[in-house]
Structure 1
Amino acid sequence: MGGNHTQPTFILLGIAGSLGVQAPLFGLFLLIYLVTLVGNVGLMVLVWVIPRLHTPMYFFLSHFSLADVCYSSVVSPRMLRDLLLGHKAISWAGCVAQFHIFAFFVTAECHLLAVMAYDRHVAICHPLLYVTVISSRVCWQLVAWSYLIAFLSAIIYTSCTFGGSFCGPYQIDHFFCDVSPVLKLVCSDTHSSEMVIFVFATINGVSTSLVILLSYICILRTVLRMSSAPSRARAFHTCASHLLSVSLFYGTLFFMYLQPASRHSSLDKVASVFYTVVTPMLNPFIYSLRNKEVKGALGKCRRRMLNRCQCKRDVSTHGIKEP
């Protein structure tokens, strides 16, 4: 069977080898995934329904939350099912689809982070030109380009990862179909595929991180020239959430994908859990708890809900028809 071009059924070995820890991990990851869904979907809905959040920054943030939900949902439900049922088989087509969608949204998130940094750069360094430079049309163009580049990159990553001949046993030592564990099962020489993936991952990672770095260098220079201390504090506060998300996201991504295949170790699973499961859960809290506008919008929605509940209680108590 070795060296042929059949489409095998893979076995995901998962994150936990011991049966005793699978139930606690299932409960923990289920809780994290539910919080991820509620937090990110809630943030998207909040941006869509509150007029004061209809600004470029929150427009980009809503797409960032969408990417978080999508790539987390590609990985987490499958991992939860495997932990609960112990059924770890995944078809070749399912593995390809999982990896492609995952690569698409992770790459899109890289570019969205760069777009968000550019948005903050224009807002702080060129405030008088902000409405002109970051217009509604430009917002859609930036997001569309992010998705287009991500889609093309994902095609390249997927074709390089699954383009070879696979040998048995078809056991992927991971909890989802990722580059390094899948390439270990390829019979043919994978050096060229690894180099192409490394080059494109480097181009995407370095180009977007360079945009972020240059944007924040300009922001820092502008902020340090501000004479008012409150203005400086306000500018830094505006950027703090984005910088924290960038640090969490890029730190684990660079550790995972910008290193030679020979240096991958058991720590890869820990890093993968962090950026596929934990980081998408943290991002809504990072942006909502540190942002007065988001907290104000949440408070406004809460007051509306309380008022409606109070009105319904009054109607049911006094028998008064609602106008």
Structure 2
Amino acid sequence: MTDTALTPTAPDEDCSPQVPPVSLALDQEVAATLAGTLKALADPLRLRMLSAISSDPRGESCVCDLAELADVSQPTVSHHLKVLRTVGLLDSERRGTWVWYRIAAGKKAAASALLEGFAPAAVAPGVAPETAAFADLEGMDEHIGNLAAELADATPDLPRETVTGIVRDSYTALARSAKITRHLVPLTERFARQRLADLARDRATAAPQVLFVCVANAGRSQLAAALTRSLSGGRVVARCAGSTPAAGIHPHVRDLVAEIDRDAADAAFPKPLTDDAIRAADVVVTMGCGDTCPVVPGVRYEDWAVGDPALASPEGVAAIRDDIAARVRRLLTSLSTH
């Protein structure tokens, strides 16, 4: 018996990284700071406080409001807020008897990424898009080609290559987050038709159009669009889109939309944000998610700081729905005035 089996083999040269791992890792000081912030957030009440402050339409929250989030003493509430302030997530200001808290300057995008991006994924993890979206796609190119030809025939005012490009781009964008590929062709058709309508829209003669934008297009933007269509009696065109659309609408939100309009709930699906949608809108409303949109002359921009119904309690969902409805009514009044 030889000791060959015990002799370490030479490492596979093909497995060696081109850049040493130490160069790819976080800087030690940065990692320590980040770990401290994550440790501060590792408490359910602190996360709820951060969410409440981030979505407060006033842009800040009073400690008296935050105390209602849990049945704990005032000193306990103040302790949790102090922890978040110590790691730089919150700023505070005393006014008379009460202290007011807001997301620290420069930290809003980070808070939005946590609350709007990571939280929904952690609560309801989905199938990896690259695994689901491109499975069982045999013959899909033919289907998309036939759809492009059909829509090109239906829109003779636009060059066929433009229509074909929009159809294929719409399919690619939706496929990135698709869970069930058999729905891609009808969803691509609906999305492409919407984009073609936006491209051909004449702002001077068309009905008012509002675009609601949030990160996933799976919650508040869908609800706002449904409320706009309902409260306007269909006289205002309501679109919605997401900067990083989810694979599907959150079930809580779909139920809310179904209460407003069953047909709208059945037809609703997350869609990516496009420049054509922004240019076609009279008003673009970002839903307090930290999204930014290209500035187009003639388009009015608003930002609504509202809570996320996908993550709220049943009572919170009702309050968010009523808050959005009130904002929609004010928006419709301003559209009729101008």
Higher RCO (Cα < 8 Å, 6 or more apart): 1
When Rg is computed on C-alpha atoms for both structures, the one with the higher figure is: 2
Higher helix share: 1
Q: What TM-score results when the alignment is normalised by the length of structure 2?
A: 0.25
Q: What TM-score results when the alignment is normalised by the length of structure 1?
A: 0.26
